[in-house]
Amino acid sequence: MSRLSPVEEPVQATGIVKRYGQRTVLDRVSLTVHPGITGLVGPNGAGKSTLVKAILGLVRLAEGDVRVFGLDPRREPHAVRRNVGVVPEDECSVPGLSGVEMVRYAAQLSGIPGIESLRRAHEVLDWCDAGQERYRPVETLSVGMKQKISFAAAIVHDPRMVILDEPTNGLDPIERRAMLGRLTTLARDHGKTILVSTHVLPDVQSICERVIVLADGRVRLTGSIRELTQPTIPEERLEVIGPVDELVRRLIARGIPARRARPLELFPSAAGADGRSSATVETVTPGDGAHEGVVLLQLTAPDALATMWSEVHQLGIRVRSLKASSRPFEEVFLEALQAAQASPTESLHAAP
Amino acid sequence: MPLHDVGYRPWQGRRSGSLAAILVIASTGIKLAWTSRWLRRAVFFAWSPALVFAGSFFVFEQAIDEGRLGSIQDRALVGRNVDGVGILGRVIAESLGQSDAPPPGQHETPEEETYRTRRAVWSRLMLAFMRSPQAILLAIVVGLVAPALVSRDLRAKAWLIYFTRPVGKFEYVTGKLLILGLLVASITMLPALALWLAGVAVSPSIWVAVTTWDLPVRIIVASLALAIPTVFMALAYSSLTAESRIASFAWFATWAACWIAHASLTTADVMQREHEEILMSENAQSADPSNAADGGFSGEDAPGRPSRSNVRPMGPGGDIGEKLSDLLEGRRPRNGPPFNVRQFRWISRATGIDDTIDRWAWISPYHSLGVIQAWVFGIERRWQAIFPPLLSLGLVSIVSALVLWWRVDAPARV
């Protein structure tokens, strides 16, 4: 009989402090990991790995309390780890084992008995698209394949929560997309809690529902991605093909606040560390002489939408999409880090 | 996508517990270790000495069956080889020569005599088997397997696989100990038990199994005594480095260095003793010049009883005289092993024939283990001989276990 509480949050940390000698790695960290996909981001040395170790009960905390599904990982590490799967960032293997033997070994160590562990290992490897490579010794596999094996080993025992450290490391774009898809499937279709520690911020923005930003051992930012990336002033994002600048001019003339999107707002990943664009982004599409671009506008007035459609129609503009605008998460992240540097002891923002 | 891809499915089966995790770690470790060709050869070779010893059992039991025990004993008393199977004949002979005879005046039936001599011979043969070939093979096999067991996990970061799953230090360490324990058992305990079964099979009656019922128990205990310190020490070395080569070197260097240290100190003792004997001999000659001509056979062991125990003759002639006297009287020098044993000091120590107290045994794992095994087989009973090796091995085991416990999850804590 499982003693795990079904109503408890997957992870609840309260004021945890971890020191290595004189160095404080986690400084009064309090956070909650909710069901769904949560991103754990932060610069190197922020304390992410130590937080994961605390969740698994591998380190002794100086202060504070961690609960995983209502259990104390230090007191009941086996019960906790039976319900958690971990994909570590470092390559790890048992030398001499093939891919499928490795996943089977992980299944057996997690309590899946006998031949069932082999069946389950093959099933999960099939789902991870491991192919025939599974029969080769792990140490001879490519980085991407090792990542798949590691992921398969983490989920083979059907844990309630999966913790992944840089899960898309070494994956090509197609595999990366497939991996993110698998994580989404696990969370959406199977109710798993996923905690992803990564530096790839677009990955966080694309799959995570919530995010926790750690810096210098403190939680600097936490909340849902939707809330954190919401602009201060609600804007709509209109992607069009046609005379963009003329449209902006006409909308402003009709009393609708509008502006053409800056390159950074279109391509967040092109931003440098200072938040400015480091790339030249041209939005002109020659050919029929039409311009392609994005207009950010505030449709707050009651008739603003009708006015906008009217102008678009008059100018013969083709609309590709219209959706609520959001700030790139990278911008939010960098703001959080800048605020952390300016005020080391304060959290920038703590959305629910 | 594979044709049989059924997607991700939950798993709701019954999970096994910690014991299963230990067995999985052990079985996987043995499977990986067994891929080494050298290990397979070593384990195969470890069984071959059992054939030679089985021959000795056969010869001895045949002699009993044919009623030749008396003649064997007579020959044993004069220190002669009894069966033509080389040095094992000496083991049998010395066992018969040393077996506890009944007090003078107490009558002993032939059955009692057979029972007594059989137990003495079988115990010594078992001890000889476990000490001479098996203990050395054990050091080799453990040296082949153990260094990689933990160090390779540290190097390949396999600890991340173990300690992020419901596997604690206890399960991990126990699993690793079990790998070595099973290998050690396969080269010490199992061949010895097979040897006992062979001895029973070649004996005149199946009742021999009843009269020697305690030997299998002693074999198991002796194997455990052999396995516990060696396995802990080997794994402790392995846990101290991520390079298995360094752990291997440390393992073999420990055995070799301790053996050399023991040999040096023991030799120094022997030289000192011989020097003292020479001085005593010279003193005796100067005190009684009439004895100088006959090679110095004048030492008194006890009132009215001549002895050569403390008086060693000078020169080859004197040595022959001493040997002849030993042969005629069937006695051994009081403070040293019999003369024929001196030629085979190593095997005589291994079999417990040399009953001088090895005061440096605690320095060397091999010699300490020998003393403890002799104690287990009931051959060594003196506490002054047993205690130092017991203490030494106990300390080695405890310190090694603590090091192992501290080191195995060290990377996970930082």
Q: Does B32 sit within 8 Å of A92, measured CB to CB? A: no
Alpha carbons B207 and B202: distance in angstroms, whole number: 12
Name the percent of chain B lying above pLDDT 90: 29
Name the percent of chain B lying above pLDDT 70: 72
Smallest CA-to-CA distance from B7 within A223, A8, A126, A163 is with A126
Q: Is the ipTM of this complex over 0.90?
A: no
Smallest CA-to-CA distance from A154 within A192, A209, A205, A211 is with A192
Alpha carbons A292 and A282: distance in angstroms, whole number: 9
B289 pLDDT band, cuts 50/70/90, is low
- Residue B405 in this model has a pLDDT that exceeds 70: yes
Laid out side by side, the sheet with A236-241 consists of A258-260, A292-297, A236-241, A318-324
B403 pLDDT band, cuts 50/70/90, is very high
B365 touches B395 (CB < 8 A): no
A93: CB partners within 8 A, 6+ apart: A102, A138, A139, A146, A149, B156, B157, B158, B161
Alpha carbons B374 and B389: distance in angstroms, whole number: 12
Tens digit of each residue's pLDDT (9 = 90 or more) over B13-28 = 888 888 999 999 999 9
Phi-psi region of B84 (alpha: psi -120 to 50; beta: other; left: phi over 0): left
Q: Does A123 sit within 8 Å of B156, measured CB to CB? A: no
| pLDDT at residue number B254 | 94
Q: Does A264 touch chain B (CB under 8 A)?
A: no
Q: What is the mean pLDDT of residues A330-336?
A: 84
| pLDDT at residue number B70 | 64
Tens digit of each residue's pLDDT (9 = 90 or more) over B147-204 = 999 999 998 888 889 999 999 899 999 999 999 999 989 988 999 999 899 888 888 7
Q: What is the mean pLDDT of residues A155-173?
A: 90
B268 pLDDT band, cuts 50/70/90, is confident
Smallest CA-to-CA distance from B344 within B81, B146, B98 is with B81
Q: What is the mean pLDDT of residues B231-241?
A: 94
CA A134 to chain centre: 28
- Closest partner residue to B156 among A56, A88, A94, by Cβ? A94
B336 pLDDT band, cuts 50/70/90, is very low
Tens digit of each residue's pLDDT (9 = 90 or more) over A186-241 = 999 999 999 999 888 888 888 999 999 998 889 988 888 888 887 777 788 888 88
Alpha carbons A230 and A99: distance in angstroms, whole number: 43
- Residue B247 in this model has a pLDDT that exceeds 90: yes
> Which residues on B lie below 8 Å from A53 (Cβ)?
412
Read off the DSSP letter of residue B336: S
> Which residues on B lie below 8 Å from A123 (Cβ)?
6, 9
> Which residues on A lie below 8 Å from B24 (Cβ)?
105, 108-109
* Amino acid letter, residue B343: Q
- Closest partner residue to B158 among A94, A157, A185, by Cβ? A94
Q: Does A90 sit within 8 Å of B11, measured CB to CB? A: no
Q: What is the mean pLDDT of residues A113-121?
A: 92
B165: CB partners within 8 A, 6+ apart: A81, A82, A106, A109, A110, A157
> Which residues on A lie below 8 Å from B20 (Cβ)?
108, 111, 113
In the numeric block, which tokens belong to residue A217? 């051992």
Q: Does A77 sit within 8 Å of B409, measured CB to CB? A: no
Q: What is the mean pLDDT of residues A319-345?
A: 81
Smallest CA-to-CA distance from A156 within B114, B172, B9 is with B9
Angle, alpha carbons B232-B230-B387 (nearest 5°): 105
A15 touches A64 (CB < 8 A): yes
- Residue A346 in this model has a pLDDT that exceeds 70: no
A123 pLDDT band, cuts 50/70/90, is very high
Tens digit of each residue's pLDDT (9 = 90 or more) over B134-153 = 888 888 889 989 999 999 99
Q: Does B156 sit within 8 Å of A92, measured CB to CB? A: yes
- Closest partner residue to A127 among B7, B18, B160, by Cβ? B7
Angle, alpha carbons B351-B357-B363 (nearest 5°): 90
Q: Does B24 touch chain A (CB under 8 A)?
A: yes
Neighbour tally for B62: CB within 10 Å: 14
Neighbour tally for A141: CB within 10 Å: 21
B53: CB partners within 8 A, 6+ apart: B88, B125, B128, B129, B195
Alpha carbons B76 and B71: distance in angstroms, whole number: 8
| pLDDT at residue number A282 | 39
- Residue A273 in this model has a pLDDT that exceeds 70: no
List Cα–Cα distances, B325 to A281, B77, B89, B297, B335, in angstroms. 111, 12, 22, 9, 16
| pLDDT at residue number A271 | 39
Higher pLDDT pick, A119 / A231: A119
| pLDDT at residue number B7 | 85
> Which of B9, B159, B164, B167 has the most A C-beta neighbours within 10 Å, making it the best mutation to test the interface with A?
B164
Tens digit of each residue's pLDDT (9 = 90 or more) over A274-316 = 333 333 333 444 445 557 888 888 877 788 888 889 999 999 8
Alpha carbons B227 and B221: distance in angstroms, whole number: 10
- Residue A74 in this model has a pLDDT that exceeds 70: yes
Q: Does B6 sit within 8 Å of A110, measured CB to CB? A: no
Give A45 to chain B, closest Cα distance, Å: 13
- Closest partner residue to A82 among B1, B159, B166, by Cβ? B166
- Closest partner residue to B15 among A82, A96, A182, by Cβ? A82
| pLDDT at residue number B334 | 41
Q: Does A182 sit within 8 Å of B8, measured CB to CB? A: yes
- Residue B356 in this model has a pLDDT that exceeds 80: no
Q: What is the mean pLDDT of residues B65-84?
A: 60
* Amino acid letter, residue B85: V
Q: What is the mean pLDDT of residues B28-57?
A: 87
What stretches of B130-165 show up as alpha helix (H) in DSSP?
135-155, 159-163
Q: What is the mean pLDDT of residues A101-128?
A: 94
> Which residues on B lie below 8 Å from A49 (Cβ)?
none
B309 pLDDT band, cuts 50/70/90, is very low
Alpha carbons A19 and A150: distance in angstroms, whole number: 29
Higher pLDDT pick, B63 / B148: B148
B330 pLDDT band, cuts 50/70/90, is very low
